[in-house]
Structures are given as C-alpha cells and as structure tokens.
Amino acid sequence: MGEFTEMRNMQFKIAIIDSNILACMGLERILDELIPVAEIVTCESFEELLSKGEAEFVHYFVSSRIYFEHTAYFRDRSGRSIVMVGGDMIINGVATLNVCQGEAALVRDLVALQRRGHHAGMSAHSAHANIAPHPMSKEKPEPLLSTREVEVALLLCQGCINKEVADKLNISITTVITHRKNIMEKLGARSLADVIIYCVMNGIYNV
C-alpha cells in the first residue's frame, strides 16, 4: 500500500536517450499520443540523462549504442529499459523495440509491449505507466464509424495498403480512399497512428 501511494506521488516521466534527434522526435510524438499523462524527456547522451535527475524516470527508451556503452546501468533497470534496435535483434534480459519500421507497425509494437507488461517494471508502475485512454475513446464508445469503416480501419491496423484493402473488401481503391478520409475526419485523427490507437482502445483491433 505504501509503495502504491509513493508511486501515485511520483512525477511520471519517460526518457528517450538517443543522439538521433529526428528519431527522438518521432518516438516522442507517438508516445505523447499513446500515453498522454506522461512527460516525455529526450536526451542526446547518457550524460544528459544523468543531469536531468534520472531517478524520476519510470521508463527509458535507449538507443542500442548508448545501451551497450552503459550496459551495467540499464541492466540494473532492465524492468524499466527498452532498447531501440534496427530490426529483430534480441538482447537477453531487456525488452527491445524495432524502430526501423513504419509508424503503424511501431505503434502496434509499443501497444503490444505495454500489454505484455514490459517485464516487471511496467506492472510495478501500472498505476501510471499503462496506456491511458486516448482522447478520442470513451468508456462506452459511441459507434463513430460505420460497419464498412470499421472493416477498413481494421485492415489498415493490420498493415494493409489501399490496394490490399480494396481487394479484401472487393471495393475500388477510390472507395477505400474515401473511407480513409471519412475515418480520419470522424476520429479527428492526424495520422494512421491515431486510427490504430482508437481501434485498440475501443476493442476493434487486438494486438
């Protein structure tokens, strides 16, 4: 009980440690959408992380280069560390995230990582670290999308391109594009990542 109270009083911060500024900005935007209650802090180096009061961070997204330069540090925090890798690299004892993939796949992997509990760390901080409902979702979601739009959205979540959606639903590509436009407008979505988040949070798509 004391531990839970202590965590509720924590300032919920997530660190991204990577010298690649563009990569940091892209991941920061996605995490902002997935976990709106978190403060995302980007650091270009390990030294910058230490200068920002690292003890306050609930999770660390760290580049593989920085991870291997400071392995002992992040292994001590393995339940809170996610190593950003290029491909399907597996690092024993720590979670990994393939950042060399499209936005839709990256969002799916992030949600799947959270749902698996991200080792011990995610469950230990579940009061804060669970992905909060997206602003577009509600506890009892209204049927914002038509049946056909749901079918299109589900296929988009699965990574299908317009032509594949058209073939699977036996409709024209023009119709698919129209459905995509309507879906984006109805959800107030700015990107496919927003559509995926909406579908996950409302039980349309399960990762």
The SS3 call for residue 11 is coil
Identify the pLDDT of residue 93.
Answer: 82
206 assigned to some structural domain:
no
Q: Which amino acid is at 89?
A: M
* CATH code, domain carrying 44: 3.40.50.2300
Kindly state whether residues 156 and 119 are assigned to the same domain: no
20-31: average pLDDT: 86
Identify the pLDDT of residue 138.
Answer: 41
Please give the structure tokens belonging to residue 144.
């914002």
Sheet holding 95-98, edge to edge: 39-43, 13-17, 57-63, 81-85, 95-98
Identify the pLDDT of residue 4.
Answer: 29
pLDDT of 1 over the 50 cut: no
**Per-residue pLDDT tens digits for 145-177:** 899 999 999 998 888 999 999 999 999 999 999
Structural domain containing residue 62: 2-129
- Backbone φ, ψ for residue 141 (5° rounding): -60, 135
48 assigned to some structural domain:
yes
Percent above pLDDT 70 for the chain: 79
Q: Give the contacts of 195 (CB within 8 A, at least 6 positions apart).
A: 153, 156, 157, 183, 184, 187, 189
Give the pTM.
0.61
d(CA 103, CA 121) in angstroms, rounded, equals 25
Identify the pLDDT of residue 117.
Answer: 56
**Residue 143: pLDDT band by 50, 70, 90 thresholds?**
low
pLDDT greater at residue 76 or residue 105: 76
**Per-residue pLDDT tens digits for 84-120:** 988 778 888 888 998 888 777 888 888 777 766 554 3
Kindly state whether residues 105 and 162 are assigned to the same domain: no
51-60: average pLDDT: 80
141 assigned to some structural domain:
no
Domain count, the chain: 2
Classify burial at 10, counting beta carbons within 10 Å of its beta carbon; exposed 0-12, middle 13-18, buried 19 or more: middle
Kindly state whether residues 121 and 32 are assigned to the same domain: yes
* CATH code, domain carrying 159: 1.10.10.10
Kindly state whether residues 114 and 15 are assigned to the same domain: yes
d(CA 170, CA 16) in angstroms, rounded, equals 43
Do 169 and 151 form a contact (C-beta atoms < 8 A)? yes
